Amino acid sequence: MIKQNLHTHSLYCDGKNKIEDIVIEAIERGFNILGFSGHGYNRPIDDYSMTLENTELYYSDLKYVKQKYKDKIKIYVGIEEDSCGRYFKDKECLDYVIGSVHFINVNGKFEEVDLSKEVTDNIIKNGFNGSFIEYAKAYYNEVKKVSKWSEVDIVGHIDLLMKFNDNEEYISFSDKEYLDIAYNCIDEIILNDKIIEVNTGAISRGYRTKPYPYVNLLKYINEKGGKICLNSDCHEKSNIDCYYNESMKIIKNCGFKNMMMLSDNGFLKKSIDEF
């Protein structure tokens, strides 16, 4: 059985635990593949991103645990780069890259799309004249941009803008105009041969009851032959496999027959029954 998580944060960015403590937790929970994806240097825009000093310590720690626990778990060195970041100075150190959108430019200032409902309200009101659709267009254009980067392997939480929309306060998940925008973005991601992650992070933090991307987007990804992997976006070791079993049921119900697994030879397509 393959149990994998490639979206993991530690004390070096906005995570709560030391790298080794996360590794030990993952082993205890039956993981055989664990990838770390610290937020790549993106200051002063993102105060949660790793400093240059912490980036070096991050690599050093991962080298240590990779060797120490090599007989118990495969550990991979990744990074999560933001659309307004792209700091790839140390790309040769990396096994993979997650490209994500956490910020969009609103009237000349980068605003964080997932910080709080209040911030999201202000982004929509002040940046897009109260139009969620216009906000969605701007957000998904950034996701499309990330998907074009040659360095990126996985596109993270593609519908992050819906973090505070679990009760459909902003828009229906089935709104046709919204779906057309999201589907167009998915088409571009697939065209650029990127993996789309199924991400349970907002569930562990109490913001959503279903993973990113929402089920209608997942069904579309499957219909169009897109590639996926399941990640927990872990910021606290106790949540490293949050909603995994439930997410696997959703993935299977959406029709997926395969998921992607990271190996020493890169990403491999594996039968859904192996997970």
Residue 174 CB-half CA count within 13 A: 0
Beta carbons within 8 Å of 212's beta carbon, 6+ residues apart? 157, 158, 159, 160, 162, 197, 198, 199, 201, 202
Give the Cα separation of 73 and 162 in Å (integer).
Answer: 34
Query: What's the confidence (pLDDT) of residue 182?
Result: 99
226: region left, alpha or beta (phi > 0 left; psi from -120 to 50 alpha) = beta
The DSSP element (H or E) to which 261 belongs, if any, is strand 258-263
The backbone torsions φ and ψ at residue 178, rounded to the nearest 5 degrees and listed phi first, read: -65, -45
Model pTM score: 0.96
Query: What's the confidence (pLDDT) of residue 88?
Result: 60
Query: What's the confidence (pLDDT) of residue 105?
Result: 94
Query: What's the confidence (pLDDT) of residue 93?
Result: 82
Query: What's the confidence (pLDDT) of residue 85?
Result: 79
Find the distance separating the first CA and the last CA of the chain, reported in whole Å: 5
* Domains of the chain, first to last: 4-274 (3.20.20.140)
Query: What's the confidence (pLDDT) of residue 260?
Result: 99
pLDDT along the chain (275 residues), means of 10: 98 97 98 97 90 94 98 98 75 88 94 97 97 98 96 97 97 98 99 99 94 98 99 97 97 98 98 97
Query: What's the confidence (pLDDT) of residue 240?
Result: 98
